[in-house]
Structure 1
Amino acid sequence: MTVRSALEVATTTDSGMVRSFNEDAIATELDLGLALVADGMGGYKAGDVASGMAASIVLEELKRRLQTNDPDFPALILHDATEKANQAIYQAAQANPQYHGMGTTLVTTLFHDNHIHFTHVGDARLYRLRHGKLTALTQDHSILHEQVVQGLISSDDAKTSHNRNLVTRALGVEPEVEYETQKQTVETGDLYLLCSDGLNDMVDDADIELALTALQANLPLTARQLVMMANDNGGHDNISVVLIKILAPFPAIEPSKGLMDRLFGWLK
């Protein structure tokens, strides 16, 4: 089974109840097994530019590089695509005064050979619902998360902290960026959620778990429900949601064959 036929995907993005424009960007490409969410920052238009650049550069880099069936290639191209996006955003910010200080968080997933490979920078998140239990697969690169880990603030107090949106890492802010890449085995029935912090800042994980469990038979409805819950709780930020359900096992992506490869194949 191909990756495309093994995945069901639903996406939605919303500006929220407070902001007049949307600086988030989402992208999915089922033929590549790719999905991503980017949450831009840097003021009017600049954040939108940064998140849009991240989405387009990562997508194009993956398309260009999917010419090999090396088992290590997903991690390698995620690394290269993230680096390339960071450099491009940083250079654009340096060259254009109106974009100075722009950057973006990013979470990218690549489904390949019954595994999920994912990279994240900042506080865009990846969750997995498996057998009714929601698990956060990423840890925020934020001041607030560091304070919780160090015991300086409780998890309950963190929910109302004014430091929720202060990230410690983002694409495009510095010439080099530190990020994390992981690989995990997927199971049929898994449901993955990529989201910007406009969702999880407004909706507790327990309520996200409840919505996913109750509504997952209809992914578009589930995505809309999550956005509505965030807006009902204040909608203080842009909200982006990508849902990916594993319908069946899937093989490695086959490399495209050139004309000579096909010709020799016919002659065998």
Structure 2
Amino acid sequence: MDMNAVLQIVTRSDPGMVRSNNEDAVMANPQRGFAVLADGMGGYNAGEVASGMATALLGTELEKAFVAREPSSEDASGQSWARVTLRAEMARVNGAIYQAAQSQPQYAGMGTTLVVGVFHDNKVTVAHIGDSRLYRLRGEDFQQVTRDHSLLQEQIDSGLITPEQARHSQNKNLVTRAVGIDPEVEAEIHDHEVLPGDVYLFCSDGLNDMVEDEEIAMTLGALSANLELCAMQLIQMANDNGGRDNVSVILVKVKGEYPAARGWWARLMAWFK
């Protein structure tokens, strides 16, 4: 299914006000209905290399996989092709970045976060590693869809600190999971129901560290009719508040339903479940 008709997608990335280079990378494939955001880390330009590798490799491999098979089709274990592909390809990207970091001294220690969304069958399959986020605006309701793989989130979960204390912590960038740092890493993958009118925001921490969630929600609510303007405004707000990091956003607006095409046998099986 060509998702262009039901999804509007805008991507923006900016170095911010302090850093000279941009270690974030973004890509979207509106036709196949997926988006990828990566926030690289590492000395010199190594973070740039890691995030660039991650988005380029995933962009290519997901496209190939979803041309070959519908993301909603299931394998023998009942898992969707979207889930199977995301798990396999994110593991492969991790291996590629890890090998590059091991074999080339200038890339030693490089890594990246990843957040990926695949829109199919009136849902979105979300895979993430690290602290880049996905948010959703549905009507008046604004929610963070992903949970950070970070030291701060672990401290919040264990009751050591409150979310308010976390906002002012110095330990913002300590991730507990990243792509390319270890030989293996597991992506966290979940499916979420999608409704027409939903607006999804993928972002690097350069946005949510600089701009409060309430302000992000108000901006999305006010400007979601013009996604280009909305993306520019979110980046401007981060920069106005100091822009201490690179800031990247992907906005996805859902314009209609997109159920998977199913044959009579699949419909019959679904009816009996």
Which of 145, 153, 171 does residue 163 from structure 1 map onto? 171
Contact 1:10 / 1:223 at 8 angstroms: preserved in 2? Answer: yes
Contact 1:32 / 1:253 at 8 angstroms: preserved in 2? Answer: no
Aligned to 1:221: 229
Q: What is the alpha-carbon distance in structure 2 between the residues aligned to residue 162 and residue 184 of structure 1? A: 32
Following superposition of structure 1 onto structure 2, how do residues 148-227 of structure 1 map, counting pairs within 5 Å? Answer: 148-227=156-235
Aligned to 1:261: none
For normalisation by structure 1, the TM-score amounts to 0.92
SS at match of 2:235: helix
- Letter aligned with residue 239 of structure 2: N
- Letter aligned with residue 35 of structure 2: A
What is the CA distance between 1:156 and its match in structure 2? 1.3
Uncovered stretches (5+) of structure 2, i.e. residues with no partner: 75-79, 263-273
What is the CA distance between 1:223 and its match in structure 2? 0.4
Q: What is the alpha-carbon distance in structure 2 between the residues aligned to residue 30 and residue 152 of structure 1? A: 41
Q: What is the alpha-carbon distance in structure 2 between the residues aligned to residue 247 and residue 63 of structure 1? A: 22
Hey, which bits of structure 1, 4+ residues long, moved more than 2 A? 251-254
Q: What is the alpha-carbon distance in structure 2 between the residues aligned to residue 156 and residue 230 of structure 1? A: 19
Contact 2:87 / 2:186 at 8 angstroms: preserved in 1? Answer: no
User: What is the total number of aligned residue pairs between the two structures?
Assistant: 254
Contact 2:2 / 2:32 at 8 angstroms: preserved in 1? Answer: no
Uncovered stretches (5+) of structure 1, i.e. residues with no partner: 255-268
**Is 1:250 aligned to 2:252, yes or no?**
no
What is the CA distance between 1:123 and its match in structure 2? 0.3
Contact 1:40 / 1:51 at 8 angstroms: preserved in 2? Answer: yes
Aligned to 2:59: 59
Which of 84, 93, 101 does residue 76 from structure 1 map onto? 84
**What is the root-mean-square deviation of aligned Cα atoms in Å?**
1.2
- Letter aligned with residue 183 of structure 1: D
1:107-141 deviation per Cα after TM superposition (whole angstroms, max 9, x unaligned): 00001111100100000000000012111010000
> Identity across aligned pairs (percent)?
51
What is the CA distance between 1:253 and its match in structure 2? 7.5
Aligned to 1:94: 102
1:149-181 deviation per Cα after TM superposition (whole angstroms, max 9, x unaligned): 111112111111110011010000000002200
Q: Which moved more, 1:63-72 or 1:96-105?
A: 63-72
**Is 1:119 aligned to 2:127, yes or no?**
yes
